Structure 1
């Protein structure tokens, strides 16, 4: 494939900046195509893919969009057209990277483009929005972001070096050696982890890798869970070891690591074999201590670090989490087992730890016993989640999952 970069953005407001990046890429020996997502003003530089073509790709009429003068509606259409156009070019071997410059509209456009391209294709966003909450823009993509310090509104002594280094970073990604292929010969398994369940996940990872399986760990921080659910739906994984379901607690209690209401649904819906555990359901994540909601200030709180405060889930919340998990798993169309650690759901809820609360843990396990479909095995292991006996139980269950020898609906 020719190392060709698509520069996608509004040429009526950012034409000078896109021209600068285009010319710097050319100086480094890289071809580029400029795609125009603007609607209202006149483009300041010529486009290789004009705005009329972008609107048409989205099934829209540029003149109608311009006449309506609805910036939001126009951005939705042009972002969709840009994503479809660039994916079509990629499938034809004509695109190897994409860059977008600007503000929140640029971020929205890049979010649609990034979601349409495979992992590993360089995607660079230079935007003022990356100084804030970037989750809506990253989604589940491998997006690279750079903060421009000043707004993308002309070339000056600040924007020139920033755009220069952004362009150089893109050129560097394109100049690297070919990406090596994975050497695994066995199954592909997704798993979920948190710092307080790392020992368990590492043991499972090492055992599977020794057998030639490839393990994809996802950090259960909200974004990780959403990414996992999206990738399960793509058919990439042969099985899921959902060891760390902590995001469900954040969704229930309003923590900062919620993965949304669809967490723990993709494998059940798609029939992908899954082994589910209760990792870190003893906790809800908040930011610094002053961000903990007032209604929780009298609860058991633990400073994980200055920027993360953990709250222990109580017995009532744990019972509700059991009902939630059962409700999500009971409709599974494929293999599923639940493996529960009776002596602690995380590193800090074992005996002597700050979140040690056997009554709350037992409430969750009882709730699962009461609410899980009888055909779904619930195996309660007399160990803490990071004990060797527990990781062995997970590995045994994965063996059954991959062999489809036992388990609900296997």
Structure 2
């Protein structure tokens, strides 16, 4: 494994020159190489950077003068964010950088989120920020594998407190660049969504069965950030086939729960990736377990999964709204799409006799699904439960047919 790695160090070198150069020195002292990128607008660094603010603005088809003339720091920083993202991605594709670390307060962090989202999964990406882990950061703007560290005591100037954060970030990004095992792509990849084995069982059967067929299977935990990672890869066309069975994040976004973004359940379709879809946990909305329930949900039945995660049960009309949202998204798909509807239930908690069983609610959902399902989608109705063997058998029957006719490429 080569130890010759180059880290792109990004920030406003006019106001954070000392801190950024300290990180550059830390990386070099550990045997790494550095390329520096200045995303300032008004000032200049104490010494030239490898990529100047003019280089950055021009990469985004703009200029520093345009940023200044805007008279608005928000607009100016978005100009720099556009250029920095494009430049970072180009440098990566040219093989000039192996990872990135970005430093900033709220302005720099806003830019950092764009830069990290622009880089593919597997490229080490670190953000040192005064607002790391803050509720200011919307989940949909976080790259799937972003790493953050709080820039403690570092709003202005170097000190022993902030050096601890800066040196950790420098060592972490360089170490990650040396150690990362990027996706190989030597086998066709299937993207699957699910939850833990206590609530959904199908992955236990399907993963080995698909691997025996010569495919690699990546299972994504559909609790917000897992869905973001899944969608980002689907948008890249990384999957030979999608098995999106835990579509609960669509309802989460609709009802104010743990969202994976407005584009959930759309990117596989947009890239024409063959997809088999099911509505696991359609009846639940995931919320932060340690927060009080919103007033409109406080009287609903709920399941405390643990101290972090609470799931609230939807009423019949809310289930119908989720059904319509699922169908609207599937209607946009450009590739082959099958939807499997297990009429016996869609998670272990809703079986007859279980705590969250609601036959009338399930019937309302099924009725709305069947009324709103697009004609372009192959609709498959099952009498059984999503955790029954019949579900996996149906998935494999559809999948094997797609492999046989060339819909899914080996």
Superposed counterparts of 1:76-225, under 5 Å: 76-133=78-135, 134-135=137-138, 138-176=141-179, 179=182, 181=184, 183-184=186-187, 187-195=188-196, 197-225=199-227
Q: 1:265 to 1:167 in 2, by over 3 A?
A: closer
Superposed counterparts of 1:368-387, under 5 Å: 368-374=369-375, 376-387=377-388
1:40-62 C-alpha deviation (Å, 9 max, x unpaired): 23323432222122222222222
Q: 1:290 to 1:236 in 2, by over 3 A?
A: closer
How many residues align? The count is 403
Q: 1:76 to 1:246 in 2, by over 3 A?
A: same
| Paired residues of 1:201 and 1:243 also in contact (CA < 8 A) | no
1:246-297 C-alpha deviation (Å, 9 max, x unpaired): 1122233222x23344322233343321111110112111223753221222
Is 1:262 matched with 2:263?
A: yes
Is 1:392 matched with 2:386?
A: no
Q: Could you say which residue in structure 2 is the equivalent of 1:275?
A: 276
Choose 225-234 or 8-17, whichever is displaced more. Answer: 225-234
How far apart, CA to CA, are the structure 1 residues paired with 2:362 and 2:382? 13
Q: Could you say which residue in structure 2 is the equivalent of 1:326?
A: 327
Shift of 1:3: 1.5
Shift of 1:67: 4.8
Superposed counterparts of 1:19-30, under 5 Å: 19-30=21-32
| Paired residues of 2:38 and 2:56 also in contact (CA < 8 A) | yes
How far apart, CA to CA, are the structure 2 residues paired with 1:285 and 1:312? 9
Unpaired segments ≥5 residues, structure 2:
none
What TM-score does the superposition give when structure 2 sets the normalisation length?
0.90
What TM-score does the superposition give when structure 1 sets the normalisation length?
0.90
Choose 306-315 or 319-328, whichever is displaced more. Answer: 319-328
How far apart, CA to CA, are the structure 1 residues paired with 2:157 and 2:372? 61
Shift of 1:177: 7.2
3-state SS of paired residue (2:113): helix
1:284-340 C-alpha deviation (Å, 9 max, x unpaired): 112237532212222112212223221112222222322332333245433222112
| Paired residues of 1:9 and 1:106 also in contact (CA < 8 A) | yes
| Paired residues of 1:338 and 1:378 also in contact (CA < 8 A) | yes
Unpaired segments ≥5 residues, structure 1:
none
3-state SS of paired residue (1:121): coil
| Paired residues of 1:282 and 1:355 also in contact (CA < 8 A) | no
